[in-house]
Structure 1
């Protein structure tokens, strides 16, 4: 789960937050603070330090809001799954593999007969790059499918609200948390965003 600070009214660098054990005038607590404020002397960032309990409470409220309104979210998730399956079907690399095999044979022929084979080599590199891009896109789509399936399973299985913060559940469901002026935006790995007042 990533944590960032963004604001329009104060100078905020947008950097990530780090968990810190804090001792403020003898009061010990755990807080989250912007990395630039921790590491850079004289940083002009004014991102607020946020108490871990406040952050955890906001995340639990966001998850509970999702659970309380799960029917519309499940409908949205199903539409997202349909979109991923229908519009972005996985790229088949079999045709590219066949073409690459043919070009490899042609490259060997050209090299043996001492002909110029630069064009064949360039085409091989181009097709390899296309294949790599297709494989990356396929993996990204599969990742989206898995995240949406996990969120759908969680919403279908969970019959009651969370009573306390659960680190493992948060790591499974939450992509990032963004600190704004007076609210916290919780973004789930499925793409759903919920804002909670601080």
Structure 2
């Protein structure tokens, strides 16, 4: 008889396990067709990387519906799109505007909850943007390049019409090759420093936005969503679970 035996785990624990499975599968290739692998459109829509079906754990895809001459953007489970109800039976389609409002509401609610939450979000954003700082040995490289230039100048100064045949072309070639390699390393260090400066500027912008969350509404922003969230689980047509980097969770209703 159905439900006649005691459950092995309680419903609350089961729900937490399902959320964790969804979080872990958020970055995997779910679809059985290569053209629908998760992340294909990541450069444009953050939710393509993050939105996960709570039932089958597949990714969601952005779709355009046309009815009565009017277009509507919705997000649908990829398994439902490709296989109807073969693998996923009850996952809902969600209007993009409703989904975006719910995601931003969860972000604002979580960030405004207390200062510690906000600082945790900042920490994870900073780690993601700044990355590991490489060792800066640019001074040593510049000194060695100067030494090579000085050595090359001495060789040229010793050259005269009578001693041109004694000019050591192999040594010159070796020095010039070494200088070229060192200069490339210097250029790489300069490029990395510029990227760090750009990341810092971007991070400052995000901090400013987060600091203002408590006091003003915030429109949906793919950049912020991508930096803050680990995944978004579509639990049902009534609610989503927003999981932040670091494990913070916020259950948010889907309202018109």
Interval of TM-score (by shorter of Structure 1 and Structure 2): 0.5 to 0.7
8 A Cα contact 2:108 2:214, kept in partner: no
Deviation track 1:22-61 (CA, whole Å, cap 9, x = no partner) reads: 12698742124689x99xx99xx98986420232123212
Query: In the alignment, what sits opposite 1:2?
Result: 46
Is 1:98 matched up with 2:143?
Answer: yes
TM-score with structure 2 setting the length: 0.47
Structure 1 residue runs of 5 or longer lacking an equivalent are: none
Structure 2 residue runs of 5 or longer lacking an equivalent are: 1-44, 157-166
Structure 1 pair 197–54 and aligned structure 2 pair: CA distance change class (3 A): farther
CA RMSD in angstroms, aligned pairs only: 5.0
Structure 1 pair 144–7 and aligned structure 2 pair: CA distance change class (3 A): farther
Greater CA drift, 150-159 or 56-65: 150-159
Deviation track 1:68-106 (CA, whole Å, cap 9, x = no partner) reads: 13511454437987xx99x95983634423323433454
Count of residues paired in the alignment: 182
TM-score with structure 1 setting the length: 0.56
Is 1:147 matched up with 2:190?
Answer: no
Find the aligned partners of 2:123 and 2:201 in 1 and give their Cα distance: 13
Give the structure with higher Rg (CA). Answer: 2
Secondary structure of the corresponding residue to residue 115 of structure 1: helix
Within 5 Å, which residues of 2 pair with 1:22-61? 22-23=65-66, 28-32=71-75, 50-61=94-105
Find the aligned partners of 1:107 and 1:8 in 2 and give their Cα distance: 68
Structure 1 pair 181–59 and aligned structure 2 pair: CA distance change class (3 A): closer
Structure 1 pair 186–149 and aligned structure 2 pair: CA distance change class (3 A): farther
Select 1:166's aligned residue among 219, 224, 227. 219
Secondary structure of the corresponding residue to residue 21 of structure 1: strand
Secondary structure of the corresponding residue to residue 169 of structure 2: coil
